[in-house]
Chain A
Amino acid sequence: MPCPRTLLLSACLDPECAGPRRSLILAHVRSCPICAAELDALRCLSDDLRALPDPEGAPEAFRAWRMRPDAGRRDPSRRRSWRQGAFWWMRLPAGLAVAASLAAGVGLANWSLPAAGSARSVAAAARLDVFDAVPPGGLCAAGGLCGTPQERT
């Protein structure tokens, strides 16, 4: 059980104790060396407590909070899927537009296939030309056979 004096002096440290009560206590402290020493000790204690350094190892709660899979969620019963939403039908035009553009893309690809096929066959034929007896761009299999008579002489 602390001395009642200490209880009164402790209250005097805090701003909640104001007015005539505080004035009375302080008036007594001025004339009483024991209470003055006690109040001084309490003041030093209070100052030291406020000067205590923060303990190390503070958590990174914010990061952990964000990383927890269930952290950002409210009550699951309150969540609704977009199908259950009141305005789900407003998304229908956008869906239809996407489907139409996909279909058009596939149709265009099929329509252009023959042209692409012929181009591929021409390229394949060109590659085979290197095995031909007539070199690409040449007129005859052997240059000497097609020469003019003047050239032969």
Chain B
Amino acid sequence: MVNPVLLIAVPLGLAFAIPIFGLISKRLEKYIPVVGMLFNLVLSIYLIPKALAHPIVVSIGGWSPPFCINLFVGPVGVFFSAIIALVGLLVSIYALDYIKEGDTGKYHMLFLLLLAGAQGVVLTGDIFNLFVFYEILCISSYALVGFLRDRDGLEAAIKYLVQGSIGTGLVLTGIAFIYGLYGTLNMADIARHINSIKPAANFITLALIITGLGVEAAIFPMNAWLPDAHSSAPSSISAILSGIAIEVGVYAMARVIFTIFGATDILGFIALIGIITLLIGEMSALKQNNIKRMLAYSSTGQIGLIVFAFAIATSYGIEGGLFQILNHSLSKALLFLAAGYMIYRTGSMEISSLEGMGKKMPFTSLGFTIGAFSLVGLPPFAGFASKFLIVKAALIKGGGLYTCLIVLALFGTVIEGAYFFRVVQVLYFKGKGGTLARQEAPFAALLPFLVLVLLIVFIGVYPGPVEHVLNSAASEFIHRIAYIQGVLR
């Protein structure tokens, strides 16, 4: 049985070794992230059946659980780990040809460290360790957003940095209170003793931690950084930020709310915040002329929908939220990668300059279109299954609040359809002009498009295996007692 620590240790080791490979030959540096993520993908897929049967608890250093840091590899952890490895592998293949200027060796190091940090957040079972790996994720993304060193990138990076630092400062204050109140930092140990402290103290600590984590997850009052950062970064980094970083933020919030605190009475408020985020994101996206800013606002909207699905807190609700995370990762990565080459060819980010791309870059435009349809939720694609689950969950839960909110969510989906169809119309049905010859994106970019399109279609047609994994994942979040007993026998 292979130790799951290798999912985190191997990318870290390879990232430290990249300068040494760079001494041998500068051209080797860009293949190291591909190797690292391929290893991660193979290992996490190998671990899926084992984690579904019985969650694996790995202790670091050989001591026994509350006195050491432990990794908890359950269905949720291995599901997120597989998504991170898959999207990371495809974007690193795309970056083989896309990143040409600037200090490219350092780009690949920062990229691999961002993915290692994300793997660490989803697999750990100790709250201070979650904070350290979460900081690895955030700091790599601050450096990567400003990587191109143009005016927009630097401004977006400094705004993201200041807001992110305040957020992590709040999380650390919450962790200080947790240590003062409970005397331990292990998630299962805190969960076991959660009722021994007055509810008012618990509530404020939970509020501090959720506000801090919400900066990275980009929920309503704290998402001012997202449109600037995702639109000014290089396109491969926008794909990773939208596809992985904000979902890992949502995972961290869900872990704190469901497993550690078990706080089911604030979920109505969280559902409301989710729908407000959804509406603000979708309506702002409608007004945009810059395609990357439009996609960034669309990410905000989708995160609102995912948070709403988690706040329903029944088995169908959490399953729908996790399925929507899978759909959003794959589709948004496809959209940003396709948009990256279209922008590179036309030299401008305006939607009107993409006229007629359907004929000049046919595969890229097809990829963009399929990503858009899947995100909106049309039938043969993955998005339909996930949105159907969320609507079913909200209607089964009933009650005035959830029915109103799901109607607003469907209204948001209609707006989303409107702005995506506008772009598809510009791609295919407009455009007589254009002096560009017909030239497709290079092979290193077409391979990720092909894999993502095949996956989206396959999951849309056969959602069975995915739903089986997500069912176990949802029950891990709902049944806290099983988590506590798994770690502290």
Determine if chain A interacts with chain B: no
